[in-house]
């Protein structure tokens, strides 16, 4: 229809398709306006190459999507164990939707059941270093983690399998950041360092 040599036609098939498009644009899953007075839910999932998350609220028993997000995993992240990828999806989803959930209790949904005790009950010293760092990042949020069967976590699963292409140089690798922090933490304190810190506190 857009080519110069194409004959313009508008028969019942085109009319039907046009009406379906209009209906789709005006009905769920159209993004809803965020209501800070309602409970907020975050579903997150991970595939072998991507992570996805959806933020939604419930109104009249219907799930109303507020925002969607996905990205590809970096080469380093693709080497993570699956439980670490699933945890990363949760952490990244919370950070992505930080402005919506900070200061509120967010209900997090995952289809990876072992993550429920890890985020809810397990002590840091019982986790691997990578999971420790992820749980530490979550300490800025108030949350509940709930297991949802994979068949009911359709949208987050679809987002993780069709992620938006990411750039590995957008942020420092988690491993590099952790190593830098470890080196800084183990640097010996000199007299000069102590004096500088003391003077800065006084000033």
User: What is the C-alpha to C-alpha distance for residues 178 and 121, in angstroms, rounded to an integer?
Assistant: 24
pLDDT at 169: 46
pTM passes above 0.75: no
Q: Are 119 and 93 in contact (CB under 8 A)?
A: no
Residue 145 bridge partners (DSSP): 108
pLDDT at 132: 95
Domain-wise residue ranges, the chain: 29-164
In this structure, the number of other CB atoms found within 10 A of the CB of residue 148 comes to 16
**Residuewise pLDDT in 10s, the chain (203 residues):** 556 677 778 888 888 888 887 776 666 667 889 999 999 999 999 999 999 999 999 988 888 999 999 999 999 999 999 999 999 999 999 999 999 999 999 999 999 999 999 999 999 999 999 999 999 999 999 999 999 999 999 999 999 999 988 655 445 455 556 666 666 666 676 667 767 777 776 65
Q: Per residue in 19-69, pLDDT tens?
A: 887 776 666 667 889 999 999 999 999 999 999 999 999 988 888 999 999
Q: Nearest 5°: CA angle at 109, between 35 and 137?
A: 85
Q: If residue 126 lies in a helix (H) or strand (E), which one and from where to where?
A: none
Q: What is the distance, to the nearest Å, from the Cα of residue 65 to the centroid of all Cα atoms in its chain? A: 14
pLDDT at 198: 72
pLDDT at 3: 63
Instruction: Please state the CATH superfamily assignment of the domain spanning residues 29-164 in this structure.
Output: Ribonuclease H-like superfamily/Ribonuclease H (3.30.420.10)
């Amino acid at each position: 229809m857009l080519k110069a040599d194409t004959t313009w036609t508008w028969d019942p098939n085109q009319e039907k398709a046009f009406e379906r498009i209009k209906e789709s644009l005006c009905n769920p899953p159209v993004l809803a306006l965020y209501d800070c007075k309602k409970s907020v839910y975050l579903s997150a999932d991970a595939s072998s190459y991507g992570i996805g998350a959806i933020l939604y609220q419930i109104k009249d028993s219907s799930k109303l999507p507020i925002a969607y997000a996905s990205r590809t995993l970096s080469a380093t992240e693709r080497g993570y164990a699956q439980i670490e990828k699933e945890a990363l999806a949760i952490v990244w989803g919370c950070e992505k939707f930080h402005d919506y959930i900070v200061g509120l209790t967010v209900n997090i949904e995952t289809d990876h059941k072992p993550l429920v005790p890890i985020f809810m009950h397990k002590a840091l010293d019982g986790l691997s270093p990578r999971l420790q760092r992820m749980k530490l990042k979550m300490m800025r949020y108030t949350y509940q983690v709930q297991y949802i069967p994979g068949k009911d976590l359709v949208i987050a699963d679809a987002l993780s399998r069709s992620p938006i292409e990411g750039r590995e140089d957008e942020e420092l690798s988690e491993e590099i950041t952790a190593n830098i922090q470890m080196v800084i933490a183990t640097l010996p304190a000199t007299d000069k360092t102590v004096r500088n810190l003391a003077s800065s506190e006084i000033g």
